Amino acid sequence: MREILSLGRYFQARFGARVRKIPISLQGFTCPNIDGTLAKGGCIYCKNESFSPSLIKIQNLPATITMRKNLAQNPLLQAQLSQLEEQFLWHAEFNERKFGVQKFMVYFQSYTNTYAPISTLQALYDKALSFEGVVGMSIGTRIDCVDEAVLDLLGGYVKKGYEIWLEYGIQSVYEKTLTLINRAHSVPISSAKALFAATRARGIKVCAHLIYGLPGESEEMMLHSLESTLGFGVDGLKLHPLYVMRDTQLARMYEAGRYEPIDLESYVELIVKSLRAIPESIVLHRISSGAHSGDLLAPKWCFDKNIQMRLLRERLLEEGMVY
Ligand code: SF4
């Protein structure tokens, strides 16, 4: 029986204890695919509040101020630092009280978390790593928003003994699909190979995200995206189904009958095939996804992550794999 290296198992082996990722959403962070730098409107499925319901607006600060690399001054910084502290302490206290967890990874989750002046990033990351029990950070970003300065900054934390993961959204390796979903990368997807190598050369771990069920993609294409992404060189993967949130471009396609979500059985079989192809040393950060929010339109099975996980675990057991 093969034991899949889930993130929980990886953390247990690495730190000798349970580690919880604490999601952080900071006002002012955005994405070059939303603010007009590369495109407007974002990816057709993007609704950041759906994966960050805790996104808290800072009182009395104009919503028009947003992060950019070249922002001369960041008037939100003090408020962002307070917001970071408030969110971290709330989640840490909850996890310690309810589950007895005492080690944490700070997870900068919403939007593109390396898309800000380097001084802002350093101030936020320094603060995140200063909290009691924090063993590292996970930072969600895009392949066109990480430069040498960011890598050097993060590599410095690795040298101090912290565990640092960069979570890069790949989603698909097909440029046609990426255009269709308005991913608007300013670099070709193939450039991920060199970027991942530069990231890993500094001891920073790479987790690549892939979405199954993107419009127009066959199972063969999805498995090819997986194979290519493994070829880029990764330490971890996050696999999840595409789901439709209200008030997105994808919702309009779905309502017009131009998009059909992947069904549960197909998704489960795809995960089984994927796990057969993924080397045992790769950390599986996630193989399912769901949204409890009333904003979820389809597929209905994404309302309940527990059902997905039960089915996935049962099916994987049949294949000699324990998740
Ligand atoms: S890259 Fe991420 S944050 Fe930016 S538009 Fe796409 S899903 Fe949203």
Query: Tens digits of per-residue pLDDT, 303-312?
Result: 988 888 999 9
Spatial contact of 88 and 24, defined as CB atoms under 8 Å apart: yes
Is the CB of residue 141 less than 8 Å from the CB of residue 114?
yes
Give residue 132 CA to ligand 1 midpoint distance, Å.
31
Q: Which residues contact 190 (CB under 8 A, 6 or more apart)?
A: 173
| Residues constituting the chain | 323
Kindly tell me if the per-residue pLDDT of 56 is higher than 60: no
Going from the Cα of 198 to the center of ligand 1, the distance in angstroms, rounded, reads 23
Check pocket membership of 43 for ligand 1, CB cut-off 6 A: yes
Distance CA 210, CA 170 (A): 6
- State the residue for tokens 């440029």: 175
**Cβ 142 under 6 angstroms from ligand 1:** yes
Helix axes 264-277, 305-318, angle to 10 degrees: 50
Q: Where are the alpha helices (DSSP H) in 100-140?
A: 118-130
Which pLDDT score is estimated for 67? 85
Cα(48) to ligand 1 centroid in Å equals 8
Phi, psi of 166 (to 5 degrees): -105, 125
Distance of CA 241 to the CA centre of its chain: 13
Pocket-testing residue among 48, 114, 143, ligand 1, by greatest number of atoms within 8 A of Cβ:
48
* Ligand 1 proximity of 46 Cβ (cutoff 6 Å): yes
| pLDDT tier for residue 47 given thresholds of 50, 70 and 90 | confident
Residue nearest to atom 5 of ligand 1 (CA): 42
Residue 31 Cβ < 6 Å to ligand 1: yes
- pLDDT band at 292; cut points 50, 70, 90: confident
- Decide whether any atom of ligand 1 lies within 6 Å of the 32 Cβ: no
- Residue 37 Cβ contacting ligand 1 at under 6 Å: no
Confidence of residue 53 (pLDDT cuts 50, 70, 90): very low
Average pLDDT over residues 190-219: 98
pTM beyond cutoff 0.85: yes
Tell me the mean pLDDT in the region 155-171: 98
Which residue's structure tokens are 């889930």?
6
pLDDT score of 84: 97
**For 139, what's the count of Cα atoms within 13 Å in the CB-facing half-sphere?**
31
SS3 140: strand
